[in-house]
Structure 1
Amino acid sequence: MAAAPAVLKSEWTKIRTVSSTTWTLISALVVTVALSAALSALMKSQFENLSDLERATFDPTLISFSGMVLGQLAMVVFGVMVVGTEYSSGMIRTSLAAVPQRAAFLFSKIAVAGLLALGVGLATSFLSFFLGQALLGTHHTSIGEPNVLRAVIGAGLYMALIAVFSMGVTAMLRSSMLSLGILVPFFFLISQILSAVPKAKEVARYFPDQAGAKIMQVVPNAMGGDEAPYGPWGGLGIMLIWVAASLVGGYLVLKRRDA
């Protein structure tokens, strides 16, 4: 039986020695912070042009996370690569020969990659928040205001959960290309389109990205958005259910199928 510390160390070595995963995480941070800063500056200049409803429900905290839409793409790619590379390179056979306990192998990989994604996610959320608030000028808020710290930490957690969800899906599909072909359209086309369709948005609001994003809001129905049947913590709970389901599915596939 492989010792847990040795398995964790092995997975850490795999991730840090693959330059593409490192650059993907760097991209997640840089793209999110840069886009959030640009949109915060734009919002400051256009604030007077907002409707009365949008100004009444203006959420400066949420605005500072505007770049998350692209940052989560990098997290999806990171999650897919962490698991999918094992299959595309054929290393899965060697890995399972070294760690025959498949649960230990999979969840050690997810634990190491998940903690790394969480660290990058938190760094991204705090940088985006403070830079965004500085650029919002008189429309800014502070980290000490009610629920703001929750939203900032929640934004970092959201990015990490997107990565972990992607890992679970990739473990089920056993293919990087297939996983990206499903996850990218799901998050950036299907979810966004359905959330704008009157009847379909009742279903779309329970998708992991739509529900999880609520944790980043401080002002209810921010920017004149529709009221959801759950709050920030309820939305995070829904996202956690999706993540747990993907991990269970990934484990069952790994357990029952040959490498």
Structure 2
Amino acid sequence: MASPGAVLLSEWTKVRTVRSTVITLLVAFVVTVGLGAVICLVTNNQFKSMSESEKLTFDATSTSFSGVYLGQLALIVFAVLVVGNEYSSGMIRVTLAAVPQRTMLLLCKAAVVVGLVLPVALVTSFTTFFLGQALLGSHRTTLGADHVLRAVLGMAVYMTFIALLSLGVGFMLRKPVLSLGLLMPFFFLISPILSNVPKVKNVARYFPDVAGSQMVHVVTNSSIPYGPLAGFMICLAWVLATLAGGYVLLKRRDA
């Protein structure tokens, strides 16, 4: 029986030595920070042309985080490849032979994902915030303002949740192309579209990306019937559900 420490070290070594790990996490940082900066700059230049209601509900903090909804796609790729690469190459057979305890394997992979994504997410979150606020000029806020620090930390938590959710889907579907073919359209197309369709938007409000947006808002979004804490719990529920689904299928299926 492999010890938890040995399994964790093995999974850490496998993930950190793969070139895609550095590339995808770097892309997540660059895209999130870069796109957020562009949106803040444009918002500052066009602020005078905004309506009075838009000015009253303007959220400087969440505006700086606008780039995360594209940057998260790189995190999805990273997490899917953590497990998908092993299935694609057939190395999962070796892994399961060395670590027959499926629970330990899943938990160690999840721990490695958190260990890599959370520090990157924290750096990304604070960098995005400070750069975005600098570009917003007189419309900026500060880290010491009410609820701002909570929103900045919430951004990092949301990014980590997205990676864990994607890991769970990767375990369920096993094939990277299939996992990415589900997750990419869902976050990039399906969720934004359904959130604006009258008959289904009440359901779409509880999708993980919508709930995550509440975690980074300082100004209350009147169209969403819950706040940051509920958004955190909804995101956490999605993560636990996908990881549980991945565990059940990992337990029942052969490599």
TM-score, normalised with respect to structure 1: 0.97
C-alpha distance in 2 between matches for 1:48 and 1:182: 40
Distance 1:206 1:41 in 2: 30
**Which residue does 1:236 correspond to in 2?**
232
* Residues 1-259 of structure 1 mapped to structure 2, 5 A cutoff: 1-221=1-221, 226-259=222-255
SS of 2:254's equivalent in the other structure is coil
AA partner of residue 244 (structure 1): L
User: What is the SS of the residue equivalent to 1:142?
Assistant: coil
How far does the alpha carbon of each residue in 1:44-101 deviate from its partner, in whole angstroms, 9 at most, with x for none? 0000111111100000000110111111111111111111111001110000111111
CA distance in 2, matches of 1:11, 1:72: 23
Distance 1:28 1:91 in 2: 27
Name the CA distance, whole Å, in 2 between partners of 1:45 and 1:216: 23
CA deviations 1:194-229 (Å, max 9, x no partner) are 0111221111000111112210000012xxxx4212
The whole-number CA distance in structure 1 between the counterparts of 2:103 and 2:202 is 36
Query: Structure 1: how far apart are the matches of 2:26 and 2:218?
Result: 27
Percent identity between the two aligned chains: 60
Deviations 1:12-42 (A, max 9, x none): 1011110012110010001110111111011
Q: Once structures 1 and 2 are overlaid, which stretch shifts more, 244-253 or 195-204?
A: 195-204
Report the number of matched residues. 255
> Aligned partners of 1:52 and 1:257: how far apart in 2?
57
Secondary structure (helix, strand or coil) at the match of 1:48 reads helix
SS of corresponding position for 2:136:
helix
Distance (whole Å) between structure 1 residues aligned to residue 205 and residue 38 of structure 2: 27
Q: Aligned AA for 1:137?
A: G
TM-align CA RMSD: 0.8
CA distance in 1, matches of 2:90, 2:254: 12
For residues 76-131 of structure 1, the C-alpha deviation after alignment (integer angstroms, 9 at most, x for no partner) is 11111111111001110000111111111111011111221111111101000000
Show CA shifts across 1:233-256 (max 9, x none): 101101110100000000010001
Partners of 1:234 and 1:198 lie apart in 2 by: 22
State the alpha-carbon separation in 1 of the partners of residues 112 and 35 from structure 2: 28
- Give 5+ residue unaligned stretches, structure 1: none
